[in-house]
């Protein structure tokens, strides 16, 4: 006897629902956060908004307090402020300070980054576990040392030690403009400042890059070793490409620290207000932060406004550095091993 039950027709499921209805997501009522979930969402949103508000408040404060100096005629500015060092305008005064700040930070970054990468690689891929743990704590301890201590160490201990080295560089490499000029007998020069700042940047760059190296997928490392690569070849082909964005982020984070360093620079550097690349001569460069600390105690109201204007320039430089770092990381992340 033939069954009268017909098979399911094409385009319809046996339960009566069409495949389109089964495959397409149904519109549901928006799930509302309740209780702790809502509180956490509000707290996270408020924290993000607070950062933007604080940043905007700092910018507004700097602009308002620096406005008198930016609107005062140059002749009146140089007449009322004795420490403008012969500058005919505010821009002429800020320019050498910006140059010295960027030069000191660049020197520190160039000196610190290779050493920090080497320490991070040793801790993450070469050292035994116990030694790596102890060395990691030791490097992190450098971040807890106050900048005043670094300044004292640089002025009283490091400068006398490196002075013969700077003299040797001037004697045999003086034909290079960086090492030319008259060598300072006290070594209180921008290169010594860069060396001290490099030591201060080591814990920041090392800590970030070490964690990035440790996040390299184990499968990538084992695959490189299985193909016959040595440990260094494995690091070069698997670890460093994966950590490229993290290395850039760590370097830019250290650069931000170097740009704003005050006390160590103030205690070591013999200041000058020139556009000079001579790293071994005294009285050539000065940084914005160190100049503010040196001139603020005796500054009149217009002088305070001038110093805040230089602080506004430092704020803009730091903001540009962070924006550049974000752009570099965003551009390189698609080529990292994380994807």
- Residue 140: Cβ within 10 Å count: 14
Question: If one looks up domain 44-78+87-334 in CATH, what number appears?
Answer: 1.10.3720.10
Helix (H, G, I), strand (E, B) or coil at 179: helix
Spatial separation of the C-alpha atoms in residues 118 and 140, rounded to whole Å: 15
Whether 230 and 253 have beta carbons less than 8 Å apart is answered as no
Considering only the C-alpha atoms of the chain, give the largest distance between any 2 of them, rounded to a whole number of Å: 116
- Residue 132: Cβ within 10 Å count: 16
- Residue 143: Cβ within 10 Å count: 14
Residue 171, token pair as written in the block:
């004697």
H-type alpha helices, the chain: 19-23, 36-71, 74-80, 90-121, 129-141, 147-153, 159-173, 190-214, 218-226, 231-234, 240-242, 244-259, 263-268, 288-295, 301-332
Name the phi and psi angles at 170, rounded to 5.
Answer: -70, -35
What does the pLDDT profile of the chain (339 residues) look like in tens digits?
Answer: 444 444 444 444 545 555 444 444 444 445 566 678 888 889 999 999 999 999 999 999 999 999 999 888 888 888 888 888 677 788 888 999 999 999 999 999 999 999 999 999 999 889 888 888 888 888 888 888 899 999 999 999 999 999 999 999 999 998 998 998 889 999 999 999 999 999 999 999 999 999 999 988 899 899 999 988 888 999 999 999 888 888 988 998 899 889 989 999 999 999 988 999 999 999 899 999 999 999 998 888 999 999 999 999 999 999 988 888 888 777 755 544 444
pLDDT of residue 88: 78
pLDDT of residue 299: 87
Residue 238, token pair as written in the block:
């698997």
Long-range contacts of 224-231 (CB under 8 A, 24+ apart): 231/125, 231/126
| Interacting residues of 273 by C-beta distance below 8 A, sequence separation 6+ | 85, 87, 93, 96, 97, 286
| Interacting residues of 142 by C-beta distance below 8 A, sequence separation 6+ | 199, 200, 202, 203
Quick check: pTM over 0.75?
yes
Spatial separation of the C-alpha atoms in residues 114 and 122, rounded to whole Å: 12
Residue 170, token pair as written in the block:
């001037």
């Amino acid at each position: 006897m033939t069954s009268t039950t017909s098979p399911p027709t094409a385009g319809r499921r046996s339960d009566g629902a069409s495949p389109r209805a089964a495959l397409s997501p149904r519109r549901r009522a928006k799930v509302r956060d309740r209780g702790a979930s809502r509180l956490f969402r509000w707290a996270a949103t408020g924290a993000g908004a607070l950062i933007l508000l604080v940043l905007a408040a700092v910018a507004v404060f700097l602009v308002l307090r620096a406005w008198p100096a930016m609107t005062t005629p140059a002749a009146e500015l140089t007449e009322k402020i004795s420490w403008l060092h012969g500058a005919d305008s505010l821009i002429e005064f800020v320019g050498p300070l910006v140059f010295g700040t960027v030069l000191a930070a660049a020197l520190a970054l160039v000196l610190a980054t290779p050493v920090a990468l080497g320490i991070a690689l040793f801790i993450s891929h070469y050292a035994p576990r116990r030694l790596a743990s102890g060395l990691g704590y030791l490097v992190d301890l450098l971040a807890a040392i106050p900048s005043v201590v670094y300044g004292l160490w640089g002025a009283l201990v490091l400068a006398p030690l490196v002075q013969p080295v700077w003299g040797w560089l001037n004697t045999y490499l003086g034909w290079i403009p960086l090492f030319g000029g008259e060598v300072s007998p006290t070594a209180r020069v921008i290169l010594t400042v860069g060396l001290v700042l490099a030591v201060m940047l080591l814990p920041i760059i090392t800590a970030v890059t070490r964690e990035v190296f440790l996040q390299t997928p184990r499968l990538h490392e084992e695959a490189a070793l299985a193909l016959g690569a040595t440990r260094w070849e494995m690091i070069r082909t698997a670890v460093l490409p994966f950590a490229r964005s993290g290395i850039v982020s760590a370097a830019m984070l250290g650069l931000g620290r170097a740009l704003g360093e005050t006390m160590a620079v103030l205690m070591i550097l013999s200041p000058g207000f020139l556009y000079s690349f001579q790293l071994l001569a005294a009285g050539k460069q000065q940084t914005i932060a160190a100049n503010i600390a040196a001139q603020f105690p005796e500054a009149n109201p217009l002088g305070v406004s001038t110093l805040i204007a230089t602080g506004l320039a430092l704020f803009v430089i730091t903001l540009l550095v962070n924006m550049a770092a974000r752009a570099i990381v965003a551009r390189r992340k698609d080529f990292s091993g994380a994807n």
